[in-house]
Structure 1
Amino acid sequence: MNLLTRNLALGTLSVAILSACASAPITPKPQLQTTSSAVELTAPPKVGQQLTMKQIMANPDWMGILAKQAYWSDDSSSVYFVRQAYGSPLKDYYQQAVNGTAKKLNIADYHLADQRDGVFNIENTKKAYLYQGNIFVKNLETGNVEQVTKQNRRISGVRYLSNGDLAYWQGNQIFRIHANSGLIEQLADIKMENAPKGVQQPSTYLAKQQQRLIKYVAKQHKDAVLKEQFNDQLAKQDPTVASKAWYLGKNNRVVESSLSPDGRYLFVAVVDKNYKWRSEHDIMPNYIGKDGYVDAVPARARVAEDKYPGQDFMVLDLKTHQKRAITIEGLTGYNQDVLAKVKAENAKKEGKAYDSEKTPRKLQLMVDWGWSQSPIQWHPSEDKLLVMIEAVDNKDRWIANVDLKNGRFSTEDRLHDDAWINYTHNQYGWIDDSDQYYFLSEKSGYSQLYLKQIGKPAKALTKGKYVVSEVTVGPRSQYLYYKANKTHPGMYNVYRVNIASGKSEQLTNWKGVLDYRLSPDGESLLLTASTRTRPNELYVQKIGGELKQLTNYTSKAFADYQWQAPEVVAVPSTHGAGEVYARVYLPQGFDKNNADKYPAVIFNHGAGYLQNAHYGFSGYFREYMFHNLLAQQGYVVMDMDYRGSKGYGRDWRTAIYRNMGHPEVEDLEDGVKWMAKNANVDAKRVGTYGGSYGGFLTFMALFTEPDLFQAGAALRPVTDWAHYNAPYTSNILNTPDVDPIAYERSSPIEHAEGLKKPLLIMAGVLDDNVFFQDSVRLVQRLIELEKPMFETAIYPVEPHGFKQPSSWLDEYNRIYKLFEQNLKK
């Protein structure tokens, strides 16, 4: 499958992220007051109505069914977006003119709508896309759409070749549609089998004797040889015959494949087909099966059992029918023992010595989790190939130049991190048809944008203590557009940098959080943007012009309520972390000089690597409303971006390496101190709660600093990192067989004896992310430790992210009760 199109949506509208550039520069001055630890807190506005738990935990459609997945039409005159009711399996698609109103699309017109994903011919006059597994081509000059295929066997990828032909994928077979004749040619038939041996010469005594003595047998062998030779000649000389099949081995499975612009070369990554990401030993029981029985649901493998073998890479020359395995020796550090110190530390603990030795490392293609792009980047018009590869041990990322004729990698850029390579901020690609490419890298400590030519040093296009993401190449190779939080870690805006001069300019002045799409004509930006009190809406802004709101789907009931805009404050660290950013919600009638001190709650966001102390609307919208309710009830609430959170650079991210749950708890401790000093909080009446990683952090706080909080609630919590998945956990803690010290240091179940304060554990039985077993094992551990101060609530039909409003309501009623009983006087 062509990686450039591997994410084409089947059966839904797809989006083409089009790159274009603007001509009118704009240099607005940011209007921003940054916060500090000396912030003067003021009382929030008084509200007329009281929030109820049932309202804020209800079906969130009451807040409004918002526009999502927005993108530009091909002619830049309108936008398309999706609206989907909560819990509905179906989406509604809309088109809205920039100067008009939204119109819901009819199902019969879906295939005619401008698609989100697509590929373009080299002249940029035609766009090919997939809809319901078939190929459609749109003429961008006339707007006419032509259906190219109509079949039940789904096509999985499509691309334009440099001569205007279309290539497409069906499984491991690749076809070419000749533009001048409509002929369908099979370019590659890939079989996951061992190559047939062909006609073999007799090798045993009996076989040789049979041919020597029996003329009939000898003639059969001779005829078979002649036929085989003729078929080989036929394949090479007869232009009407399809190319021979490729045999890549019965023990392999294709991970990704990508075709060169001229259709000659196919880059392929394979993995051992015997590798399974599902557990071989376990299932997840569904006690509420539809037939009344317990359903055995397959479960993913745990990091302690997941042994990913790495990938092998090859180039198939479709013209000469030669297969070349790609050697990795050209990757700097390909055989370095990057875990030598970790292994030596663990060996020493066991009274052993570790002898370091060099050995080839396991590698795999790298895909940026934060941006839908391919790790395989062909030059638009030449047989030049760049591939982004990472080590399975998570310590290196390479941009490699591929020698197609000799099958070799050579290092273009190596990013090494003694902790782990970030799984976001890896976007890169050619700058149109030039000989330059851009890439993001954290080599400076922050994700910044770089420009490079093959074999030459990289040039930094951005510099500073901020994070760059979402790069878009403008037309004519003039600008690179990007998003960054330059003025404040919690505020994001759109910028562009002139590729030739290196000069950056700010294009938006949004005081919140946003994502953007550049219009195909390069003249406008489509923004999906929010503030602290208002969810995402769509906006359009001409480059250099005024911002225009396009949608208004937030409900009147939600918009009319006077939600508190939490203050974003910088908490000074007493543990060497500098400043820790946090949101603070204040009680009604807040008075920092009041003789009666306030109770407080600290919320711990999930994911670990996630940002929530920003100026946009929180993705934790239920928690946001719950925090408003707590403030109405007299609580101060803090929502902290503890160390490990996103948006603050490499050192902040990796502060938890081999030590999860300890730096973060130090930050929570500083949060309590800050509230006591600045928000009139009683430090002896503070509770904490959170879900997923936030539930893990709740455990670590109550277990390792038992006097810090008076109560805690852990939702869908990780209790033992050896039971979590490999891709996430091995980044931070390596693997249990290599680094058991890190797992014992970082897993709550290893510290459970420290529990002294009331604890509420809540988990969904159908959680296929953090298994219900995590909570079961910890409960048994607490029982054996004779800890009476915990309670457990289970939710039989819920996955990791709860679905049923009744479950949300039950969960948060229990959390509220926990705080009322333990934090109020």
Structure 2
Amino acid sequence: MKKLLIFFLSIHTLCAFAQIERNNQSALTIEQIMQDPAQWIGTSPSGIEWSDNSDKIYFDWNPEKDTLASLYAYSLKGKKIEKVSPEEKRSLPGRSQNYNSTKTQKVFLRNGNIILKDLKTGTEKQLTNWLERVSSPYFVRNDQEIAFTKDNNLYTIHIASGLISQISNFVAGDERPEAGKSKQEQWLEQQQKELFVVLNEREAKNKARENRKKAEEPKEPSKIYTGKKRVSRLALSPSGDYLIYSLYQSANGAKSTSVTHHVTQSGYAEEHNARVKVGSPQGSSELGIFDIRNNQTVKVNTAQIPGLKDLPGYLSDYPDRMPKDSSEIKNRPVNITGPLWNPGEDLAVVVALSADNKDRWILLLDPATGKLELLDRQRDEAWIGGPGIGGWGFSTGDMGWMPDGKSLWFHSEESGYSHLYAVDIHSKKRTQLTSGQFEVSDAFLSKDQKHFYFTANKVHPGVSHFYRMPVGGGEPTQITSMEGGNEVTLSPDEKYLAIRHSTGNRPWELYVQENKAGASPTQLTHSTTTAFESYPWRMPEYITFTAADGATVHARLYRPASPEKQGPAVIFVHGAGYLQNAHKGWSSYFREYQFHNFLADNGYTVLDIDYRGSAGYGRDWRTGIYRHMGGLDLSDHVDGAKMLAEKYDVSPQRIGIYGGSYGGFITLMALFKQPGVFAAGAALRAVTDWAHYSHGYTSNILNTPAEDSLAYVQSSPIYFADGLKGALLMCHGMVDDNVQFQDIVRLSQRLIELGKENWELAVYPVEAHGFTEPSSWTDEYKRIFKLFEENLK
């Protein structure tokens, strides 16, 4: 009977899918748009790099639809593209490239060995030939030596002589003192010294020999015992006198989750370890200094950092946990990263981030004393983040020394948008270099250090352009001109731009342009297939609407050629939360973009919103979801539905919603908390309870469950499942190690216990968070289309 029931259910599903296919009014099919994108769309160029002499652009590409992409090169002289030969590919520099102070030499790794290249002559010199691999080579000591890391220790190699010196001596484990002698042994030894002169004379000679040997032999670096901590980020000062290092301590007692794989090569179910859950104990890092001249370590005292006792604002919601007096307040733990060494003197800049994500300090470090001085503090009662600043991870990568060596440039969201600032390390005077209601990212100094180059969405939140600006600030000059997405790689001689450009309906292609404002770009690649180009892909309409709280919301709109009066509509919710999708470039959601064209062909109006929490719109938009996911981010979609009904003649009773990951979460909240607004929703790989998601992401936005339970309860769909009214489809990969399968299983049990019947769950046994199999994509989107056809038509 059970087998017969499964047979009839399968026949019913197949028939339903077949009926949906017959109803399709589009030239596209779901099978077509969900197939392998390399075969159907084509492969855009990626991994753009210039040759050292700026005469070639190297990039990964696959115009021939091979199994894997290959390396290609465009010659500026020959003006043609050719596949790079294996011999030329082997001769190219590897990763970890660094330049000397005059940019006449560079050092890099090839096959794990150190290569020195003269950029004027193009000649190379291999400095090591080891089976063991090294990492992170860079110039030190007036460019006369190269520092590198091997086996968790730092070494230098003298370029002229080839002499290799070990600088650090890190030893795993704890120092073990020599075993002490018993009182009986000490008494006998003392008696011998008192009775026999010859023993005292021999001991004196032995000590003299040891002292002479120590004086004549090179001084061995002092052992630095690391216990159970892991050494990382070894950075030698330019003078070679100081070494700054990080020690990472893994969390104790952090319980990992596991993911069960049912479809395996062995035929047995297999358990795979995965991440910990939010609120679990976290690892920590500390900074250390090794004074090489004095052969001793210097302690960095983080208690010097101002504001360590400042309490987060959310504690006001828990008055019973507020300390009664300041003596009860402990210093908040911090993690420090860096250093960024001053090129002219032994001073370094480090960055500290509080473990509660509320503070970022930029600090000047004196390696001789371990003293820290504050250069800038950015505090955010939500969490630190934004372009060039950090958020989910932080570093010194988006800051640098100004040409005078006395000031530091960096990013800050103090104005509400990520902008460039400079601070004098002596006077502590700070200067804002860029300003306006736009975001600056990917900043760096020109070769002559007279200008900044950076990317910004100055003309429109959804358009990125490349700019040049005087190093002291001023009006930026826009260099790129094509509307859409522009990813620029500047040539080493700074005469040309390699531009990866896309539009809302055309994938990324490679262009080259002179580094001049107003110069015309030349398209180099043509990557899309004839089959893909045969369909007239819509350019999305870029619209704005006003949310209930007065905020301006940016969105993409797709409309049928002849919209039905009081017709159906679908709202798409992008994932990640902090991501921008209503931009004017090619979407990373390219399958969904095609599906939206398919829906529009079938009579649906489709809206794609950059809701509260999305990237590209500044600090207040980014943190608008703090302590309440499913608050303003959900109401933006409710307001979008209202706008569709009022402005685009959409029936308020015929609106659906769907999305994956964060988009799946919003879909659940929409159907649970806004009954009647959405007739149907498809929640894909959805977070159902934020207390079961990862720490790095969730603790920024909601703090931790034990510390801020109110935020988790009001933000998690599982608490609102009783409100389900519309038709709900849930789809989830069973081996998802990001939003784990347990999440959707727990919600399913909740819906069962609540007696809800208007929901279904489709599971995908071999899929993780990002689906890879075309068959899975096809099945999922056929189910989504069927959901909308049955409930919105």
Q: Which residue of 1 aligns with 2:189?
A: 211
How far did residue 354 of structure 1 move?
4.7
Q: Which residue of 2 aligns with 1:24?
A: none
Q: Which residue of 2 aligns with 1:295?
A: 270
Q: How far, CA to CA, are the matches of 2:200 and 2:467 in structure 1?
A: 72
Distance 1:232 1:163, change over 3 A: farther
Q: How far, CA to CA, are the matches of 2:285 and 2:172 in structure 1?
A: 15
Q: How far, CA to CA, are the matches of 1:140 and 1:224 in structure 2?
A: 60
- Structure 1 residues 464-473 or 325-334, which shifts more? 325-334
- Structure 1 residues 449-458 or 387-396, which shifts more? 449-458
Q: Which residue of 1 aligns with 2:224?
A: 247
Aligned-partner residue type, residue 383 of structure 1: D
Q: Which residue of 2 aligns with 1:407?
A: 370
SS of aligned partner of 2:168: strand
How far did residue 517 of structure 1 move?
1.7
Aligned-partner residue type, residue 37 of structure 2: P
Of 39, 42, 45, the residue aligned with 1:64 is 42
Deviations 1:83-137 (A, max 9, x none): 3699999552222113522222233433312556410122211111112322222
Q: Which residue of 2 aligns with 1:195?
A: 175
Equivalent runs, 1:173-572 vs 2, <5 Å: 173-197=153-177, 202=181, 204-213=182-191, 234=213, 237-238=215-216, 241=218, 243-273=220-250, 275=252, 280=255, 282-305=257-280, 307-337=281-311, 339=312, 341-348=313-320, 354-355=323-324, 357-365=328-336, 375-422=338-385, 424-426=387-389, 427-431=398-402, 434-455=405-426, 456-500=428-472, 502-544=474-516, 545-572=519-546
Please state if 1:146 is matched with 2:125.
yes
Of 59, 63, 69, the residue aligned with 1:81 is 59
Q: Is the 8 A contact 2:612 2:622 kept in 1?
A: yes
Q: Which residue of 2 aligns with 1:573?
A: 547
SS of aligned partner of 2:304: coil
Aligned-partner residue type, residue 72 of structure 2: Y
Q: How far, CA to CA, are the matches of 2:692 and 2:63 in structure 1?
A: 34
Aligned-partner residue type, residue 79 of structure 1: I
Distance 1:115 1:155, change over 3 A: closer
- Structure 1 residues 447-456 or 240-249, which shifts more? 240-249
How far did residue 52 of structure 1 move?
0.8
Q: Is the 8 A contact 1:194 1:247 kept in 2?
A: no
Q: Is the 8 A contact 1:691 1:716 kept in 2?
A: yes
Q: Is the 8 A contact 2:222 2:295 kept in 1?
A: no
Q: Which residue of 1 aligns with 2:566?
A: 597
C-alpha RMSD of the superposition: 2.6
Q: How far, CA to CA, are the matches of 2:82 and 2:298 in structure 1?
A: 52
* 5+ long unaligned stretches in structure 2: 1-23, 390-397
Distance 1:490 1:87, change over 3 A: same
SS of aligned partner of 1:451: strand
Q: Which residue of 2 aligns with 1:610?
A: 579
Distance 1:518 1:705, change over 3 A: same
Q: Which residue of 1 aligns with 2:14?
A: none
Distance 1:165 1:448, change over 3 A: same
Question: How many equivalent residue pairs?
Answer: 753
How far did residue 176 of structure 1 move?
1.1
Q: Which residue of 2 aligns with 1:26?
A: none
Deviations 1:771-811 (A, max 9, x none): 11111111111111111111001111111111111111011
Q: Is the 8 A contact 1:630 1:637 kept in 2?
A: yes
Q: Is the 8 A contact 2:25 2:602 kept in 1?
A: no
Distance 1:783 1:605, change over 3 A: same
Q: Which residue of 2 aligns with 1:715?
A: 684
Q: How far, CA to CA, are the matches of 1:169 and 1:728 in structure 2?
A: 31
Please state if 1:630 is matched with 2:599.
yes
Q: Is the 8 A contact 1:537 1:550 kept in 2?
A: yes
Q: Which residue of 2 aligns with 1:172?
A: 152
Aligned-partner residue type, residue 562 of structure 2: G
SS of aligned partner of 2:302: coil
Q: Is the 8 A contact 1:528 1:536 kept in 2?
A: yes
Q: How far, CA to CA, are the matches of 2:492 and 2:638 in structure 1?
A: 49
Q: Is the 8 A contact 1:96 1:102 kept in 2?
A: yes
Q: Is the 8 A contact 1:174 1:188 kept in 2?
A: yes
Q: Is the 8 A contact 1:282 1:298 kept in 2?
A: yes
Of 103, 116, 135, the residue aligned with 2:82 is 103
Q: Is the 8 A contact 1:172 1:191 kept in 2?
A: no
Q: Is the 8 A contact 2:315 2:322 kept in 1?
A: no
Of 631, 634, 651, the residue aligned with 1:662 is 631
Distance 1:64 1:688, change over 3 A: same
SS of aligned partner of 1:820: helix
Please state if 1:587 is matched with 2:560.
yes
How far did residue 662 of structure 1 move?
1.2
Q: How far, CA to CA, are the matches of 1:385 and 1:87 in structure 2?
A: 49
SS of aligned partner of 2:477: strand
Q: How far, CA to CA, are the matches of 1:221 and 1:90 in structure 2?
A: 77
Q: Which residue of 1 aligns with 2:5?
A: none
Q: Which residue of 1 aligns with 2:17?
A: none
- Structure 1 residues 57-66 or 134-143, which shifts more? 134-143
Please state if 1:647 is matched with 2:624.
no
Please state if 1:94 is matched with 2:72.
yes
Q: How far, CA to CA, are the matches of 1:222 and 1:540 in structure 2?
A: 82
Q: Which residue of 2 aligns with 1:21?
A: none
Q: How far, CA to CA, are the matches of 1:692 and 1:217 in structure 2?
A: 84
Distance 1:274 1:721, change over 3 A: closer
Please state if 1:690 is matched with 2:659.
yes
Deviations 1:643-688 (A, max 9, x none): 0000000001111100111111110011011111221111110000
Aligned-partner residue type, residue 552 of structure 2: E
Q: Which residue of 2 aligns with 1:119?
A: 98
SS of aligned partner of 1:527: strand
SS of aligned partner of 2:169: strand
Q: How far, CA to CA, are the matches of 1:171 and 1:412 in structure 2?
A: 34
* 5+ long unaligned stretches in structure 1: 1-46, 367-374
How far did residue 433 of structure 1 move?
6.5
How far did residue 146 of structure 1 move?
2.7
Q: Is the 8 A contact 1:127 1:138 kept in 2?
A: yes
Q: Is the 8 A contact 1:121 1:164 kept in 2?
A: no
Q: Is the 8 A contact 1:583 1:613 kept in 2?
A: yes
Aligned-partner residue type, residue 125 of structure 1: T
How far did residue 343 of structure 1 move?
2.8
Q: Is the 8 A contact 2:323 2:329 kept in 1?
A: no
So what's the TM-score if we normalise by structure 1?
A: 0.87
Aligned-partner residue type, residue 109 of structure 1: E
Q: How far, CA to CA, are the matches of 1:140 and 1:613 in structure 2?
A: 43
Identity of aligned residues (%): 39
Q: How far, CA to CA, are the matches of 1:432 and 1:302 in structure 2?
A: 45
Q: Which residue of 1 aligns with 2:28?
A: 51
Q: Which residue of 2 aligns with 1:823?
A: 792
Distance 1:296 1:624, change over 3 A: same
SS of aligned partner of 1:333: coil
Distance 1:495 1:745, change over 3 A: same
How far did residue 225 of structure 1 move?
10
Q: Is the 8 A contact 1:112 1:145 kept in 2?
A: no
Deviations 1:131-186 (A, max 9, x none): 23222222211112233222222112211112321111113111111112111111
Q: Is the 8 A contact 1:344 1:354 kept in 2?
A: no
Aligned-partner residue type, residue 89 of structure 2: Y
Q: How far, CA to CA, are the matches of 2:200 and 2:275 in structure 1?
A: 52
Q: How far, CA to CA, are the matches of 1:801 and 1:220 in structure 2?
A: 77
Q: How far, CA to CA, are the matches of 1:332 and 1:587 in structure 2?
A: 58
Q: How far, CA to CA, are the matches of 1:87 and 1:807 in structure 2?
A: 22
SS of aligned partner of 2:506: coil
Q: How far, CA to CA, are the matches of 1:409 and 1:438 in structure 2?
A: 18
